[in-house]
Amino acid sequence: MSFLYPSFLFGLLAVSVPVAIHLFNFRRTRRVFFTNVALLKTVQTETKSFRRLKHYLILLFRSLFVICLVLAFAQPFLPSKSKLGLSRKGLTSLYLDNSYSMQNELNEKRYLDIATSKLDQLLGLFRNATSLQLVTNDFSSQEQTVGTADALRDRVTTVRFAHTPRTLPDVYRRQLNLLASHNPTGPNQLFWFSDFQKSTTGDLSRLKIDTTNRLFLVPLETQPTKNVFVDSVWLSTPFIREMQNNTLNVRVRNSGDESVRNLPIKLFIDQTQVSTASVTLPGKGAATATLNFNVTQKGFRRGRITFEDYPITFDNEYYFVIQASPSIRVLHLFDQKSEANYVENVYGNDSLFVRRSFNAQNVDVGQLKTADLVVLEGVNQVNGTLRSELERFVRQGGSLVIIPPTTPDAATWSPFFAGLGVGGLQTQAPPLPPQQPLSAPNRQNPFFRDIFEQTNQQGIENLPNAVPVWQWRVVGERLLTLRNGTPYLTQSRTGGSTAGQVYIFASPLNSEYGNVAQHALFVPIMYKIAAQSVRPQRTAYSFDDNTIEVPVSNASPNTVYKLMRDKLEIIPVQRVNGQQLLMELPKSNQLNDGQQLASGYYELQLNGKTEKLLAFNHGNRESQMEFYKPDELRRIFANQPNVAVFDSIEDDDFVEELRQQNLGTNLWKYFVIAALVFLLAEVAVIRFMKG
């Protein structure tokens, strides 16, 4: 037999009190005289022996009452046969998984409610303990302290779903920090109440539990279920314009085993439903819905995808932001302009473009930071700072159009071409060959998809003529070629997927070098080049992203941006890298009390002015309906004997099963009953034994 609180055994010294009362009777006796004492002498002898027996019985029952009462306070118990066992003397840390996947239901009860009920029952086993800790995915400051079972019960009632999922290795490190500060030598016990979702638990095979601690895993009885969530959203075109048809693609996925038929997908723009479509999803399958819409105003528009899918509801809405008719910023640098100013006229007749023209030898290279497209027309030399900044501009995603001068110098241009990943430059010395017609462009090329009307015409009549002044080794795609196979307009991307496009023309736009600039193809080609120079809009961000990149303009390194949503104000960890703002969103434990990051729209503000509108959604890791079963967890922790895994236990049996297997048999109730029995026995002796 062992004792939970052996210090109470010092109370056994209280047995000396009734013994002292019995041995030392300080009551003074009185002498009584009788004339005949023969009869009284016989009575006294009989009464004295009877009274001695009565006193011994009273002493015995009083002593046993005190002993049983002291032992009851010391809480004796018979240790369990399990080697794992629980040490109710150590610290007990309880982890309650409150991630969004705990919205799932079992017998019409949410996983979180079931786990809360089991945890509340477990606290009954530690009703007198004072070293209890409750950990949730919030990782809040109040979780750093220990408390009583009643204090933890009060906290459990306030637990809400957290937007930040935590891996179990992170949870264990969190618990170890508390153990190290309160009871580093152990033994301690840890409980994990979770659905053990595979996508969020982390790598359990590499998790090693300290042998001085005991870990009890309490998995929920998870069952296969359907759950539909938005996998991705993208526009069919790089940008959208008002009063025109636009297409939004929504890819939805079903992470459950049950199929979903004819699920309505609704599209809202600024709180107005503008389109709908339906999809059918097999188990573990995906489908793409195409939604058509138009907008009537420029600027940022709030978009929302919504559908109905139960019981998991946190991912039934997806927020995104689109910018209608964003201005395309064109920087025109020249030495030799064409006689009709073709470039300026093309980008000066549409409000979609913001064009600025500068002489290449006098331009401030800082202008490149705010440009989407740079057009070099007739520039004789590209060297020094201009060359390095143009190369940087392309590496960072900008688009560059190169229109050659009338007499290009190969020695000057070859190093610049090499920096752009284009080699083999050869210039054409005068006299120039005669003009040659262009070959018909490939209408199946995505570049020309929106340029030509969908007709059955096999060719294009009246193609323009041109005479090239240079040739180069094509590393990308030939958009236009002469009939002799010489490239006229090429498109290439160098430096990885994030780099911009480089478009190279073979001849100047002057009429003596051909009539391409006067042909009907020229304007739509230049428009398409400008359209593709716009970086694809990032419609939404995820809270799971460690670092978020947001394009900004004219930002200094000391600039401080804020994220605002209703009354919530967040100043994230941030830095400016070129034209990109890098932000780290705070986790749940880094927010102030009462603050919470919820899916929706956030304003990016600078000095009180809204610079951009951003949409944030919860990551889809918790939408994956795959969970560890108890047998899988046992195999993972098979080599760690201090880890126990419970099967799916009904609520009414959980505590009893845990107590029998790991806590042993409590005896304090029996000692309380015995103490009451001895107390009643003493009363009976005093009342009924009269001599």
- pLDDT confidence of residue 48: 67
Beta strands 470-473; 423-427: pairing state:
antiparallel
Cβ pair 306, 274 in contact under 8 A: no
470 contact partners, CB below 8 Å, separation of at least 6? 404, 408, 410, 413, 425, 426, 427, 428, 506
Provide the token pair at 317: 């809405």
Tokens 């390095």 appear where? 388
For CATH 3.40.50.410, list the domain ranges present in the chain: 92-224+626-663
> Using CA atoms, how far apart are residues 103 and 87, in angstroms rounded to an integer?
33
Cβ neighbourhood burial of 454 (10 Å; 0-12, 13-18, 19+): exposed
Cβ pair 97, 161 in contact under 8 A: no
Task: Point out which residues pair with 374 in neighbouring strands.
Answer: 331, 400
Task: Point out which residues pair with 304 in neighbouring strands.
Answer: 268, 319
For CATH 3.40.50.880, list the domain ranges present in the chain: 328-533
Q: Report the candidate in 135, 211, 220, 145 with the shortest Cα–Cα distance to residue 173.
A: 135
For CATH 2.60.40, list the domain ranges present in the chain: 541-617
Provide the token pair at 635: 């195999």
- pLDDT confidence of residue 564: 92
Q: Report the candidate in 545, 540, 550, 546 with the shortest Cα–Cα distance to residue 317.
A: 540
DSSP string, 556-568: -TT--EEEEETTE
Tell me the average confidence (pLDDT) per consecutive run of 10 residues in the chain, 691 residues long. Answer: 78 81 62 60 58 82 88 78 58 91 83 88 78 88 83 88 87 87 77 92 91 88 82 82 84 90 94 93 92 86 93 90 84 88 87 88 85 92 89 88 92 90 86 88 82 51 87 90 92 72 94 91 91 81 87 78 89 83 80 77 91 90 89 93 79 63 71 89 81 55
- pLDDT confidence of residue 263: 94
- CATH of segment(s) 92-224+626-663: 3.40.50.410
Provide the token pair at 619: 């990551």
> Using CA atoms, how far apart are residues 129 and 124, in angstroms rounded to an integer?
10
Residue type, 132: L
- CATH of segment(s) 328-533: 3.40.50.880
Name the region of 184 (left: φ>0; alpha: ψ -120 to 50; beta: rest). alpha
- pLDDT confidence of residue 469: 92
Tokens 């055994």 appear where? 9
Provide the token pair at 56: 């011994």
Residue type, 520: A
Tokens 């009703």 appear where? 127
- Supply φ then ψ for residue 331, to 5 degrees: -110, 115
Which sign does the torsion angle of CA 645, 647, 652, 653 carry?
negative
Other beta carbons within 10 angstroms of residue 14's beta carbon come to: 13
Helix axes 38-74, 16-23, angle to 10 degrees: 170
Task: Point out which residues pair with 672 in neighbouring strands.
Answer: none
| Choices 1.10.8, 3.30.450, 3.30.9, 2.60.40: CATH for 541-617 | 2.60.40
Other beta carbons within 10 angstroms of residue 146's beta carbon come to: 20
> Using CA atoms, how far apart are residues 553 and 298, in angstroms rounded to an integer?
19
